[in-house]
């Protein structure tokens, strides 16, 4: 079964951010006040024990992060001080470029995110989540008339169920439950369904889980000098506002930095850049896990900083429309949208889009804008 039980097991226990009093961003103060008031004595004792263990773990963690990213001794001492003052993971201090403790107040700590998301997006934590299963996701997109990649075939249990005609197009296969480009396989071109069935690699026929076969998507020509050989996407996050209408609250552009990479995600060394929500202009780029900043692409030399994404108005409109018309049963969704020669295209939807990428790329916490306001709104209404 493609359902990631280990992921859910790791997220089952929500760490309380503190020992006795909560230490988190101001926009979450009411949520943690209610959480503290409603927990029983056993949970309070457990939270305190975990909190004390967390504080004791900070120096060890800071040393490990320092070595991992090649940071100076002075950084480690400062990171320990900040992490203890704001009950934070030293790796968050490094990745979010935190120089003083107060700067963390606008950030969502990564260990907080799962518990907050589970509270406002409960469907995202079920086996039938339509955002976790690509086949279900594309079914909803098709029913709502939303632009998305065709399904040429679904491969499951050594059986191939044909869909759209391959028609000589380059195809890719990816796990129906995969995330971040994991397991993407380039298949080449096939004349028709019979050709695909005859030449489908045996490794895919015997793979665990379900695979979705689709045409390989072309990159918008305006982005060709940033794409290398991987399709760049923009992660657009929408949250239902106070009136239940989807609102774009965050956007991060992802693109490859390695010519050998076939996907744009951070695990493959991809670059990330914040996107101005008004005009689609890109900020400084960086890798998701360490490294310096880039005003230009490190391989092609193409400009990044200040560059505007093509058809940005259409990208935002597609995210809002998809949320409103096909996925309104979710409060928060991260959309992976490709900009193609034919227009914006929905690649994936994510019920658990994470907070590392947008906060690192933007160099500011999500709690400082509408994301934080709407998160607090939904948490209050789920109390």
Q: What is the DSSP track for 229-267?
A: TS--EEEEEEEE-TTS-EEEEEEEEEE-SSTT-SS-SGG
This prediction's pTM: 0.94
CA distance 33 to 209: 42
Using CA atoms, how far apart are residues 146 and 345, in angstroms rounded to an integer?
8
Contacts of 126 (CB under 8 A, 6+ apart): none
Smallest CA-to-CA distance from 130 within 115, 146, 116 is with: 146
**All domains of the chain, ordered by start, with CATH?**
5-107 (no CATH), 124-131+219-381 (3.30.470.20), 150-215 (no CATH)
Quick one: tokens of 308? 């505007």
pLDDT (tens digit per residue) in 90-116: 999 999 999 999 999 999 999 999 999
Residues 263, 267, 273, 278, Cα dihedral to 10°: 70
C-alpha–C-alpha distance, residues 86 and 269, integer Å? 29
pLDDT, one tens digit per residue, over 49-87 is: 999 999 999 999 999 999 999 999 999 999 999 999 999
Q: How confident is the model at residue 2 (pLDDT cuts 50, 70, 90)?
A: very low
Q: Cα separation of 227 and 248, whole Å? A: 24
């Amino acid at each position: 079964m493609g359902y990631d039980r280990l992921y859910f097991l790791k997220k089952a226990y929500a760490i309380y951010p503190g020992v006795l009093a909560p230490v988190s961003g101001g926009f979450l103060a009411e949520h943690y006040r209610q959480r503290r008031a409603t927990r029983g004595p056993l949970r309070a004792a457990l939270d305190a024990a975990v909190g004390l263990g967390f504080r004791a773990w900070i120096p060890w963690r800071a040393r490990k992060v320092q070595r991992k990213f090649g940071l100076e001794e002075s950084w480690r001492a400062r990171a320990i001080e900040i992490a203890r003052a704001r009950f934070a993971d030293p790796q968050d201090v490094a990745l979010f470029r935190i120089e003083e403790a107060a700067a963390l107040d606008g950030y969502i700590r990564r260990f907080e995110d799962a518990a907050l998301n589970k509270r406002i997006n409960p469907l995202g934590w079920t086996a039938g989540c339509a955002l976790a299963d690509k086949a279900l996701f594309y079914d909803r997109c098709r029913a709502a008339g939303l632009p998305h990649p065709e399904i040429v075939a679904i491969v499951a249990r050594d059986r191939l169920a044909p869909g759209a005609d391959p028609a000589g197009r380059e195809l890719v296969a990816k796990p129906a439950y995969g995330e971040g480009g994991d397991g993407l396989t380039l298949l080449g071109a096939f004349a028709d369904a019979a050709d695909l069935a005859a030449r489908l690699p045996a490794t895919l026929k015997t793979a665990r889980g379900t695979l979705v076969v689709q045409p390989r998507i072309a990159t918008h020509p305006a982005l060709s000098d940033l794409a290398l050989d991987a399709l760049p996407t923009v992660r657009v996050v929408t949250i239902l506002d106070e009136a239940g209408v989807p609102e774009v609250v965050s956007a991060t552009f992802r693109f490859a930095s390695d010519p050998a990479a076939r996907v744009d995600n951070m695990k493959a060394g991809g670059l990330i850049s914040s996107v101005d929500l008004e005009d689609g202009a890109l900020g400084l780029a960086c890798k998701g896990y360490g490294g310096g900043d880039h005003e230009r692409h490190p391989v092609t030399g193409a400009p990044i900083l200040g560059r505007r994404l093509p058809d940005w108005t259409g990208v935002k409109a597609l995210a809002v429309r998809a949320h409103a018309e096909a996925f309104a049963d979710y409060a928060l969704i991260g959309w992976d949208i490709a900009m193609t020669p034919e227009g914006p295209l929905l690649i994936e939807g994510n019920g658990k889009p994470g907070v590392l990428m947008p906060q690192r790329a933007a160099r500011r916490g999500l709690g400082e804008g509408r994301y934080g306001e709407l998160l607090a709104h939904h948490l209050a209404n789920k109390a």
